[in-house]
Amino acid sequence: MNGPHDLGGQMGFGPVAPETNEPVFHADWERSALGVTLATGAFGAWTIDESRHARESLHPATYYSASYYEIWIRALETLLERHGFVSDDELEAGHKIWPGVKPKRVLHETDVAAVLARGAPCNREVSAGPRFKPGDRIRTINDHPETHTRLPRYARGKQGTIEAVREGFVFPDTNAHGKGENPQHVYTVCFTGHELWGERADPALTVSIDAWESYLEHA
């Protein structure tokens, strides 16, 4: 979707200014936000792709005025309500009112380190061979769905060259909406600056992205 998160190539947002010696957390509530997000993610009710889409779906005025972890918490409220763990009136009240859905599993404190170390790999076997090979000229599809997609807006409908063929990975566009993992081959695709940004772009500039197979067609 063309949400507020998709900022590649957009003007008017000012320079990126990294914070010198930035702390891991700026306040205790950010530490809690991370913990709650990880703990509820362990419920098994939603995927990382649905979680990303919930963040993308925030209103632009909310998204741009919110801090990093505030975006996480606002999206988490959506996910918890959508899957029946909390209700709107409970969010308003700030405490439990109804029984709610019981999670499939609960992340206990003693298991946190092992769960984080194990991670959640999203690489998968793909039965068919890759359609493209390094050196192939391709064009990305020009598609602007209202649903989740990992194809950046600035790279749609553009011609590039396959740099590398990667493993098969879960297709986020379907996985975000409960339509299955549908794994596909992923490719690293290189674009020239002129192709993406026009003739005024730096002639030495190139941009590489990782793109799922269904985003691509032969040029």
Domain of residue 89 covers 28-118
Q: Please state the rounded mean pLDDT for residues 173-185.
A: 98
| Tally of domains in the chain | 2
169 in any annotated domain: yes
Residues 167 and 203 in one domain: yes
Quote helix, strand, coil % in the chain, to nearest 5: 35, 15, 50
Q: Please state the rounded mean pLDDT for residues 154-158.
A: 98
Residues 128 and 111 in one domain: no
Q: What is the pLDDT of residues 17-35, one digit of tens each?
A: 999 999 999 999 999 999 9
Residues 66 and 135 in one domain: no
Query: Closest Cα partner for 37 from 24, 54, 22, 20?
Result: 54
Separation CA 8–CA 150 (nearest Å): 12
The answer to whether residue 4 scores a pLDDT higher than 90 is yes
1 in any annotated domain: no
* CA angle, residues 214, 215, 218, in degrees to nearest 5: 90
Taking the CA atoms of the chain, what radius of gyration do you get in angstroms?
A: 20
Identity at 71, one-letter amino acid code:
I
105 in any annotated domain: yes
Listed residues 85, 118, 151: the one ending a domain: 118
Residues 136 and 112 in one domain: no
Residues 103 and 32 in one domain: yes
**Confidence band (pLDDT; 50, 70, 90) for 16?**
confident
> Do 150 and 172 form a contact (C-beta atoms < 8 A)?
yes
Query: Closest Cα partner for 164 from 206, 129, 130, 125?
Result: 130
Identity at 42, one-letter amino acid code:
A
Residues 138 and 113 in one domain: no
**What's 54's domain CATH number?**
1.10.472.20
Return the sign of the alpha-carbon dihedral for residues 51, 211, 119, 32: negative
21 in any annotated domain: no
Listed residues 92, 118, 144: the one ending a domain: 118
**What's 137's domain CATH number?**
2.30.30.50
7 in any annotated domain: no
Q: What is the pLDDT of residues 193-205, one digit of tens each?
A: 999 999 999 999 9
pTM for the complete prediction? 0.92
Separation CA 87–CA 98 (nearest Å): 8
Q: Please state the rounded mean pLDDT for residues 32-42.
A: 96
Tell me what the pLDDT averaged over the chain comes to.
96
